[in-house]
Structure formats: C-alpha cells, structure tokens
Amino acid sequence: PGTEKQKRAAMESARKTDFDGITQLQIHVRMPGDATDIQPGEPFSPSRQFLGEVSSELAERGILFQTLPYGASDAVTYAQLLDAGLASFATDYPDVTLKAVRDYYEAGGK
C-alpha cells in the first residue's frame, strides 16, 4: 500500500536505476475508508493526476502499467479510472470489471 507520497518516492528510486529489470508495475488504488491520504476532490488514492503521470511515463518506457482498484466491485470506480486514461486493471471482480469496461466504451467513453 502506502501513501501517494511514498509511491512518488518509490517512482523516483526506480528512475535512478532507469527502471532496471522492471517490465510491469501495478499500483493499488485505495477507496475512502481504506486510505488516509485522499485529496479533496479525489475519489481515491493515489490521485488521478499521479496515476496519469505514472501511466504516461511507463508507456514511454514500454513498461506495462496496471491499477488494482482495491476492493472495488462497482462500475463507477472503473469509469473514473478509464476517464483518467487508465485502461489496464488487476481485479478481484473480473465480471464487474469486464462489464464496466465494455459499458464504458459502448457509451462512448474516451
């Protein structure tokens, strides 16, 4: 787990080694009640801005990036992540996730 601040520090450490040996990276996304560092206006932690920054950087480096919306069993969470440009998920709820992603794109999502 860890806070966004701790995740930023971990990313900085990985940059110092040019992400040596890293081919994929997964970040757990925490919901209210499970995270202590949710910023105002954010639905989860780490922030959508941080997740977007990580996603862009890792894509440029050819590293697979996944988010794991920890404990999320609702379509709304996946829609919020998709709206933020995130589209690779690890999940304990594959049926919910698959339906949420399909519904999102069928409704004209990004």
User: How many structural domains are present in the chain?
Assistant: 1
Q: Which value, in Å, is the radius of gyration of the alpha carbons in the chain?
A: 14
Residue 12 lies in a domain: no
Asked whether residue 23 carries a pLDDT value surpassing 90, the answer given is yes
Residue 81 lies in a domain: yes
Q: Convert the pLDDT of each residue in 24-78 to its tens digit.
A: 999 999 988 887 888 888 999 999 999 999 999 999 999 999 999 998 889 999 9
Residue 89 lies in a domain: yes
Burial category of 43 from C-beta neighbours within 10 Å (exposed 0-12, middle 13-18, buried 19 and up): middle
Residue 4 lies in a domain: no
Residue 30 has a pLDDT of: 92
Residue 96 has a pLDDT of: 94
pLDDT band at residue 109 under the 50/70/90 scheme: confident
Residue 11 lies in a domain: no
Residue 1 has a pLDDT of: 63
Write the CB contacts of 82 (distance below 8 Å, at least 6 apart in sequence).
Answer: 101, 104, 109, 110
Residue 2 lies in a domain: no
**Residue span of the structural domain in which 31 resides:** 24-106
Write the CB contacts of 18 (distance below 8 Å, at least 6 apart in sequence).
Answer: none
pTM of the model: 0.88
Buried b vs exposed e over 73-92: b needs ≥16 C-beta within 10 Å? Answer: eeeebbbbbbebebbebebe
